[in-house]
Amino acid sequence: MLEFYLMDTLSYHIRPMRDDDIPQVSEIDREAFPAESLFRPYTSYKQEIHNSVAHYLVACTTDKPDQGNWPKDGWFKRISRCLPAMPFRMPTHGGHSREYVIGFAGLWVMLSEAHIIAIAVRHNCRRIGIGEELLISVIGLATRLNANLVTLEVRASNRTAQELYGKYGFYVSGRRSAYYSDNGEDAVLMSTEDIWSPLFQTRFEELKEAHNQRWKAR
């Protein structure tokens, strides 16, 4: 039986998604995108994360991250934050805490274009910088994978997300009418310029540092 304890602070790190993350990622998917969940069946998620063009990251909490389990290539950011106190419960099993997925991001890379499939964070963990850190991580991953630009789709009504993407250099590149099947809402297409350009890289590094200073351990 799962037992719970209340955390006064939340520390997290971002790493590549694994098979054993799928149940929790599916929960976040359904919570964040109830009308359009990406890959509801377990088997679909499993196929997706082993697709050579797909790359998924998860934000996880843990008492003491097991550094022995970190991948050796080091492309991802090793992140540890102490965030403001919040009503948050982290599950434990058999008296030992296990990683609890609080957010995820997906990226498809085809030729020179990286397309962000989703960025989602659990409702009780929002507004504390995790979604922005996932965005930073997928842009960094796109660079690592030699993409030249990053694209995405976002609901026309989701102005908060559009503002965040705009902050990181995304501009409106098009619109898809009645794209979302639940309510016929349009999708706004957004894209970056060349992410290898000195202007983009300079601004990106400035934004990463500003985000780090705001949410670093206190």
Q: Return the CATH number at 135.
A: 3.40.630.30
Name the catalytic one among 56, 100, 165, 168: 165
Longest dimension (CA), the chain: 53
The DSSP output letter for 51 is S
CA distances from 62 to 9, 52, 137, 150, 154 (A): 11, 29, 19, 31, 31
Q: Catalytic site residue 153?
A: yes
Range of weakest confidence among 68-72, 102-106, 129-133, 147-151: 68-72
Q: Are strands 54-61 and 100-110 parallel, antiparallel or unpaired?
A: antiparallel
Neighbours of 148 (CB within 10 A): 16
Structure tokens at 35: 């009308």
Q: Catalytic site residue 165?
A: yes
- Domain extent, residue 196, equals 2-215
This model's pTM is above 0.95: no
Confidence band (pLDDT; 50, 70, 90) for 55? Answer: very high
Angle made by CA atoms 142, 145, 148, in degrees to the nearest 5: 60
If one counts the domains in the chain, the total is 1
Average pLDDT over every residue of 126-135:
92
151/33: higher pLDDT? 151
Radius of gyration for the chain, computed over Cα atoms and rounded to the nearest angstrom: 17
Taking the C-alpha atoms of residue 33 and residue 39, their distance in angstroms, rounded to an integer, is: 11
Average pLDDT over every residue of 58-87:
51
Name the catalytic one among 132, 133, 153, 168: 153
Please provide the average confidence, as pLDDT, over all residues in the chain. 81
